[in-house]
Amino acid sequence: METQRKQVHAFKLEQAKWENELQLKIKKFAHDRKLLSEHNIELQEALTSLEEKFAKQQSGMDSQTTQIIALESLLREKTIETQELEQLRLKNEELSQWERFHRADAAAVEQTRKLEQQELLNHLERILLATSLQEDTTATVNATSGAAKSSSGQSAPCSEKLGRRRSAPDGSALRKSGCGTNEETLNARIVELEKLCKQKDQSINSLKSVVDQQESVFGEKVKILTAKYDQVKAINLALQKRLLNTLTDDATNP
């Protein structure tokens, strides 16, 4: 009996020990569960905060993507306008070169015309002087003083003829002077050259008018494209600055 009581007492002690350990485990489990629940709540709050930040960042990324697309479109437009501006600049340079060449050619033609005209005038002067000398010699040898005076009154001196020729560019006075077929031919040649020079002058003036008109048109186009380029450049800089500020804010506030 004593042995049984000892066994029962030992069993009760062991049972009490087990129950005590069980209670401790239950309390620890409840405490751990409470801690886990609180930690879970904190994690849920952190997750919600991260989701909100992610949504904001996603919205910012969408906005940045839209801005980048708009920026790329503006860059393409700027590239096209820059190419057009470069083409206009090349055309303007080509037009300027052509104008310089045309002016040089026109100056050379004008110089040649003046030289030819001067050469014809000099040749005509020599012919008139030779004719006048021949007439004066013939009048002096074969005529009396009265006949010489009469002959002198009928034919004008060479200097007077030359003066009439210079005062009448069309050559009509020279043809009436009676100096001969050669003078009339030369005079007709002078008239022809003067007409040709007038035609060339008219052509040059017409070409100058066309060149001035083209320069005005190209100048207006260059001004318009330059204004557009400056506007696109300003928008570009503003978008790049805004994008940089957005990226800086995102990096500062992760």
The pLDDT of residue 120: 72
Q: Round to whole Å and give the CA distance between 18 and 7.
A: 16
The pLDDT of residue 178: 45
List phi, psi (to 5°) of 168: -125, 90
Give the number of other CB atoms < 10 A from CB of residue 163.
13
**Which residues touch 84 (CB under 8 Å, ≥6 apart)?**
225
Instruction: List b or e across 205-214, with b for residues whose CB sees 16 or more CB atoms inside 10 angstroms.
Output: eeeeeebeee
Cα separations in angstroms, 225 against 87, 90, 91, 211, 233:
11, 14, 14, 21, 12
The pLDDT of residue 44: 92
Cα separations in angstroms, 230 against 81, 82, 87:
11, 11, 18
The pLDDT of residue 148: 42
pTM of the model: 0.33
In this structure, what token pair is assigned to residue 23?
């209670």
In this structure, what token pair is assigned to residue 90?
């090349």
The pLDDT of residue 47: 92
Residue pLDDT, tens place only, 135-187:
666 666 565 455 444 444 444 444 444 444 444 444 444 444 444 566 677 77
Low-confidence ranges of the chain (pLDDT < 70): 1, 124, 131-183, 200, 204, 207, 211, 214-215, 218-219, 222, 229, 236, 246-254
